[in-house]
Amino acid sequence: MTWEKLRKIIENVKRMFKNDVEEVFLEKKIAKIIVKKEKLLELARYLRDIHQFDHVKGVTGVDLSRLKEGGGPYIEVIYHVGSLDDPELNDSILNVSVKLDIDNPVVTSLYSIWPSVEYHEREVYEMLGVNFQGHPNLKRLLLPEYWMDLPPLRKDYKVPGRD
């Protein structure tokens, strides 16, 4: 029942956000919607208010600057969204993703929709250099305050002493 409901939600999202959904994956237990960054906040609000996705389990960032297929270079930010309110969706994760320009990775924070993103967005900010506009406390979480090098999860980061 869960996958059937998830498929219906994704079809609904595709209808509602026709020109703003860039890609959808729903296979091998992976449900992922890639949306234009300008519509991320609106999609998040829609998923929360209409489909009862009430929290974010995690936020992942990936440097895809060396991707051989699929365009780029860009950074992909993926929100792993879940629902405790809807028993049919309790064990499901819907991945909501945006692709950002690697030279200026800026996107609206989803803190106003799901406060559970606070630390996750901070980690992606710190490790990949993504600027989450509207985040209430976007500062270092793991690295020392004096860190002046590239974000350490960027492909072009060189570990000192390992040339």
Q: Which CATH number do you get for residue 81?
A: 3.30.460.80
Q: Is 5 exposed, middle or buried (0-12, 13-18, 19+ CB in 10 A)?
A: middle
Instruction: Quote the pLDDT of residue 25.
Output: 78
Give me the domain span that covers residue 81.
2-103
Q: Is the peptide bond before 73 cis (omega within 30 degrees of 0)?
A: yes
- Domains identified in the chain, total number: 1
Query: Does a structural domain hold residue 39?
Result: yes
Q: What is the dihedral of CA 19, 23, 28, 30, to 10 degrees?
A: -80
Instruction: Quote the pLDDT of residue 79.
Output: 98
Query: Does a structural domain hold residue 48?
Result: yes
Q: Which residue has the tokens 């020109």?
A: 19
The one-digit pLDDT tens for each residue of the chain (163 residues) are: 477 888 899 999 999 998 899 888 777 667 899 999 999 999 999 999 999 999 999 999 999 988 777 667 899 999 999 999 998 888 889 999 999 999 999 999 999 999 999 999 999 999 999 999 999 999 998 999 888 889 999 998 888 777 6
- Token digits of residue 45: 């609000």
Instruction: Quote the pLDDT of residue 163.
Output: 67
